[in-house]
Structures are given as structure tokens and as C-alpha cells.
Structure 1
Amino acid sequence: MSKIWVLGDGQLGAMLRHAGMPLDVEVCPIDINADVLPELSPEDKVTAEREQWPSTPVTQALEQHPNFLNRLVFPKLADRVTQKQLLDDLDLSTAPWMVVSDGVDEASIHQQLGDNVLLKRRSGGYDGRGQHWLRSCNNDKIPADWHNHAIAEQAINFDEEVSLIGARDIKGNVVFFPITLNLNTDGILMATVAPVDRIAHLQAEAERMLGKLLESLDYVGVLAMEAFRLGDSLMINELAPRVHNTGHWTQAGSSISQFEYHVRAVAGYPTIPAQIKAPSVMINLIGTPWDERWLAIEGAEVYWYGKDHRPGRKLGHINFCSSDTAQISSQLDQLKDLLPEQYQPAIQWVQTNLTP
């Protein structure tokens, strides 16, 4: 039995563990603050469910293992400065940006990037956290401790948010899922739909961009690329060197999920093109208490993460997949009655984008 250690023991690690079971691959997510160090064998593999981590006895032990794949990629993509520099070096479209270094003030940022600018902490800050708007009309100020710890990005008037997930194996073979349409609210992913016929013409360009990144990084495993659609072109927003929330729909809608692809690539198993079963929808469960009535909705595939309830926290997700999009829409009508009011526009958005 192959063994893969996962740095981190959140929901992504748990879903990687489940994906490894049918392949007879033992996937072992581990708490980075665990009291007992993992007993690593020379032939074991190491991956991560997160971009960055503190230095602890556990993380030090995993970092030192020679089979920690993508070890040098994680810090490069976890820091938004080096991530942006990579995109620029590869001539891949991304929002104009600058480092918020000492001596940079609001006026100089607006002069270079325009009236509306988004500041992002160099590391962390996902799901809407670690971000701060600078709008000249509001006379917004740079937070006191953000110099040298943030970048500034020009605000982009995009049409839609999309993503592409690809996987590359140890031999350099690359596979991609269909480009996915996403809805984010206050920086948190609410829902995804895939595939979507009206954006299928962007697939080749998305694959060119992500393929260039996978090759340049000599990456092994799943890498996610979030992008803005501007007409018939794409602009990269963020990269994630791991399985990703926008790929959860693949658990229901694909013969090989993103989690299985990552396990296959890290274990050295073949990665072949997946068969996409039918249109799929993923609804994120954000700060929503468990409701067993979800299980009574025909076609609903519920994933509950077992976390403590907290407002704004990702607690689970529900997938739907069917060649009959009207059936999915009907199932979503049942679901919206079991979710808070905030989900009504998200479900309506999904139903609109399910229209053939």
C-alpha cells in the first residue's frame, strides 16, 4: 500500500483520504500541531492541503522528507508578490499591481493603478479576509501595519469569475477539467456550475495559461487557477497549489474527481482524461447549521465537514449532477427552502446559468 502524508487535517485532507481508499492508497492528513511526530518511511510521499504553514515539529519533519512534492512551489505561490512576479515572467494576464512598500502612499497607488484599488495581504487572506479597498472617492487609507505586507491591485471590471483545475503527473502528462463558472459573495465562494456551454470557447485559452504554469513549475498534482472573464479573454486572479473549492463539483460530475487526480499524481499512478458525466452544481454551506432534511432531496450529494459552527465558516457543500438541468433546478428549489435567506440570489444565479 502506498502512503501519502498530507500537511494539514482539514476538509481537503479528509476528502483526499476518501479518494485514496478505492486506489488502496493510504492518505494520512496530519494536524500540524500534533504532539506525536509522524513515522515517515523513505518511500512515503508528502503533499499539503494548504499553501502555507507555521514552523512546528510536525511541519519540520514533513518538510525535510525528500518526497515532499512541490516543496519549492508552495512558498512561491503562497506569497502574492512572488505569485504575481511568476505570472508577469510567463507573460500571463493578471491585474496591474504593485508592492505596498515603505514610502508608498495612497496618492502614489492611485496614480499608478487608478481610483479603485484592492489591497491584499501578501500571504493568507482567503475567503474575503486580508483585503482592503482603497477608493479615492472615499479617501480610504492604507492600514497602519500593511506596508511591506501587502500588494495593491487595480480593480477589474470583469464580466464573470471562472476557474480551471488541472493535474500534472510525474511524467509531465497534463489533464484538465472543463472551465467552471463561480459565484463569490464578499470574497467567499457560494456556488459553481460546470460545464457551461456559453463559456466553453474559453477552454483552450484557459488550458494554455494553466498548462504554462504547470510546466514552468514542474508541478505534480492538482493546481487551481481562478480567473476573470473579460469578454472573450481571461485574466488570472489567484492560483492555489492544491485541490480547490471550485473543483468540488467533480466528486459528482466526473469519473475522476480532483481529489483522485491529486492522489494519482502524487502516488505516481496514471492520470488519464476524465469522463464528464453531466452538468453539475456545487452549493457551499457557509455558516449554516446541519440540517438532515438536505438528505431527503433526491440527487443531493451532501458533504459535511464536522466542524464547529461559526458564521462565515465553510461547513460543507452539496453537489447535484444530472443531464436534465430542469431536474437540478427543481432540486435547488427544494434546497433553497432549507437554507438561509442569503442563499436565495445564489440559487437563482445557479438556475439561470443552468439554462441550456
Structure 2
Amino acid sequence: MKPVCVLGNGQLGRMLRQAGEPLGIKVYPVGLDAEPAALPIAQSVITAEIERWPETALTRELARHPAFVNRDIFPRLADRLTQKQLLDQLGLATAPWQLLADRSEWPQVFSRLGALAIVKRRTGGYDGRGQWRLRADDTASLPAECYGECIVEQGINFSGEVSLVGARGEDGSTVFYPLTHNLHEEGILRTSVAFPQADAAQQQQAEAMLSAIMHALNYVGVMAMECFVTPEGLLINELAPRVHNSGHWTQNGASVSQFELHLRAVLGLPLPQPVVFAPSVMVNLIGTEVNLAWLQQPLVHLHWYDKAVRAGRKVGHLNLTDSDSSRLADALNALVPLLPPAYASGIAWAVAKL
């Protein structure tokens, strides 16, 4: 089997490497400053764990590589302007939006989009960074360099957030996991909950939308779609052309993880429908030191990224899966005293979902 080089050597690249080992697939996560000559690039399939990257010797080499899967799709989806334009072209539901080109546009923005405006940088902003929630008397706080470099969306009154992780093969076949329920705090994913059976209407709508996107782009691999739940149905918030934080539960809660599914897709291997056999919960570890007492809990699977711990930084996650929801809830509650107080609300949210 061909080796796979992953542009980016963060935790997603590491987890792709781990997923390749049982299949005998050699996966090489590579930093942007790596020397091309030191890597098996010529005979590899190329994928990425990041959507955008600077020009380096490595990225110049990869830009010419014939087996860089989705190479021309990454920049299109990394820019929120062209991402939103794609959704509009496909007629898919998303929050009303526009490019924010000049401060003189604010009266028209609030007239068209309503009292709450969500400003997002076109590129680079994630985990709550590069985003602003503004009302008419707040606009002076927006940095001047944002104009022309941001889009502005209508603030949506949603009842929940869900994501769909799916994959498309070279032959156009698609498979999907059940919808994942997500809790964000300050723009960062804190907790995810997934069930073997999702709401049928929501699952059908989400699969139709993500299928349309992947087919339109001729995309190959795993893609994630984040949505708001509204009374009128799902609204697409953002797309990620890669394995995704909200799919980490699949490592322990599905027959095939999102990481293995992505490798299968880019290598042209079979894509079976993943089997989800029990409710699962993922707890993101954010700026938190490792605590080996977590491992006293029999349902806990610790995934530690071995990164320097800093405030706001994702340093690992905990997966818990059990067919008995009450036992799963008990295991989650047992984690509360073993984690910083900020985690209690996210765990209570997950327990209430079960």
C-alpha cells in the first residue's frame, strides 16, 4: 500500500498515523518546514490536517504533486467568503451573510441581517478567535483591518449545534456517521455526544447537504459539516475538509474511526458504512494538565496529544462509550471531581443528553 504524507504534524496527523498502523499503512505527518528530500513524497498519497498553509519549500513541492488529494479544494473552503458562495450556489441553507467591505456598510448590515451581527475573519479564525458578536453600538470595537477581510452573518437563535462527519470515495460512494451533538463554550468545542440512531429527519437533511457539497467538489476523504438546529431545519455553519474534533468519539464508539475512514478514502480502499453500537461522549481537554486518575474510570479512553499545556489549547480528549446510558452517565459524573471546575457544565450537558 502507498504511504500517506499528511501536511501538518499536529494531533490530527498523529491520530491519522495511529489509525494507519493496524492496516500496515505508513503515515507521515510532516511540518511545513520539512525538507522534501527527506520524505517519501514521490511515491506517496498526500493529504492535509490543515486547510491553509504558507509557501515553503515543502508546500511548493506538494503544489505540483499529482497525488495531493483535494489540493485545490482546501483554499476554497479555507476562505469563508468562497465557502459561503459555494453554499449559496448549491442552494443549501446557511445564515444570511455578506462580505463586510467598509465601515459605512453597517446601517445596511443591521437593516438586512438584524440586531446581532457575527463577524468572522475570512481565513484563519477558529476556536472562537477571529470572531466578533456585534450590535449597532459595538461596531467601533472592530479592528480597521477587518474590513474586506471578514464576512458578517446574521446572529441565529438556534436550539442546538450538531455536526455530520462523512466520507466520499473516488468512485463517488458516501458513508456517514450519526449526527453528533456539540456544546461550544467561548467558541471552543467542549463536549460531544453521539447516539447509534440520530433524529431521522435531521440525519436525512444533513446527509443530503453534505453529499451535495462533496459531489460538487469531487471531494475524496472525510469532511465535517457543522450546523445550527432551528425550527425550520438545519443551517450550515461551517465546513472542514478533513477529520474533525467533533468526530473524535468515533475512535472508541464506531466500528471504523474517522481517521481510518479518511485513509481508506484517499487510498481507494473500501468504505463500509460505520457501525455505531452505543452512545458515546467526547470531552475535550483544553489547557488542562494530564491527570492519570482519569484512568481509574473503566469507561475512559484517554487520548493525550503530548503538547505543551497552555490556556485555551486543545491538549487531549476523553472518550467514553457504553450501551447502558445510566452507566455512562455515572462514569461522566465520576470525572467531575477529577477535572477543573470549568468542565462541570459540559459534563452536566452531556448527562442530560443521555
Shorter-chain TM band: over 0.9
Asked whether the 8 Å contact 2:7–2:49 carries over to 1, the reply is: yes
Deviations 1:65-94 (A, max 9, x none): 100000111000000000000000000000
Please list every run of 5 or more consecutive structure 1 residues that lacks an aligned counterpart in the other structure. Answer: none
Change (3 A) 1:287 1:22: same
Change (3 A) 1:43 1:170: farther
Asked whether the 8 Å contact 2:175–2:271 carries over to 1, the reply is: yes
The alignment's C-alpha RMSD in Å is 1.5
CA distance in 1, matches of 2:272, 2:151: 38
CA distance in 1, matches of 2:43, 2:58: 18
Asked whether the 8 Å contact 1:106–1:141 carries over to 2, the reply is: no
Which position in structure 2 is the counterpart of 1:149? Answer: 149
Mean alpha-carbon deviation: is it higher for 92-101 or for 53-62? 53-62
The Cα shift of 1:323 comes to 0.3
CA distance in 2, matches of 1:7, 1:293: 34
One-letter code of the match for 1:82? T
SS of the residue 1:226 aligns to: strand
Which position in structure 1 is the counterpart of 2:167? Answer: 167
Which position in structure 1 is the counterpart of 2:345? Answer: 345
Correspondence 1:97 to 2:97: yes
- Give aligned pairs, total: 354
The Cα shift of 1:200 comes to 3.8
Correspondence 1:73 to 2:73: yes
Which position in structure 1 is the counterpart of 2:132? Answer: 132
Correspondence 1:64 to 2:71: no
SS of the residue 2:3 aligns to: strand
CA distance in 2, matches of 1:340, 1:331: 16
SS of the residue 1:242 aligns to: coil
CA distance in 1, matches of 2:40, 2:34: 15
Asked whether the 8 Å contact 1:115–1:137 carries over to 2, the reply is: no
CA distance in 2, matches of 1:223, 1:174: 11
Please list every run of 5 or more consecutive structure 2 residues that lacks an aligned counterpart in the other structure. Answer: none
Percentage of pairs with the same residue: 48
Which position in structure 2 is the counterpart of 1:305? Answer: 305
Asked whether the 8 Å contact 2:69–2:266 carries over to 1, the reply is: yes
Which position in structure 1 is the counterpart of 2:29? Answer: 29
One-letter code of the match for 2:224? A
One-letter code of the match for 1:52? R
Asked whether the 8 Å contact 1:196–1:353 carries over to 2, the reply is: no
Q: Under a length normalisation based on structure 1, what TM-score does the superposition of the two structures give?
A: 0.96
CA distance in 2, matches of 1:9, 1:208: 32
CA distance in 2, matches of 1:104, 1:300: 53
Correspondence 1:268 to 2:257: no
One-letter code of the match for 2:238? E
Which position in structure 2 is the counterpart of 1:259? Answer: 259
The Cα shift of 1:329 comes to 0.8
Asked whether the 8 Å contact 1:2–1:24 carries over to 2, the reply is: no
The Cα shift of 1:142 comes to 3.1
Which position in structure 2 is the counterpart of 1:233? Answer: 233
Deviations 1:144-189 (A, max 9, x none): 1101110000100001000001100111110000011000001000
The Cα shift of 1:295 comes to 1.2
Asked whether the 8 Å contact 1:106–1:142 carries over to 2, the reply is: no
The Cα shift of 1:137 comes to 4.9
Change (3 A) 1:143 1:281: same
One-letter code of the match for 2:282? M
Which position in structure 1 is the counterpart of 2:289? Answer: 289
One-letter code of the match for 1:29? P
Correspondence 1:19 to 2:8: no
Which position in structure 1 is the counterpart of 2:321? Answer: 321
Mean alpha-carbon deviation: is it higher for 277-286 or for 96-105? 96-105
The Cα shift of 1:116 comes to 0.6
One-letter code of the match for 2:174? V
CA distance in 2, matches of 1:205, 1:351: 26
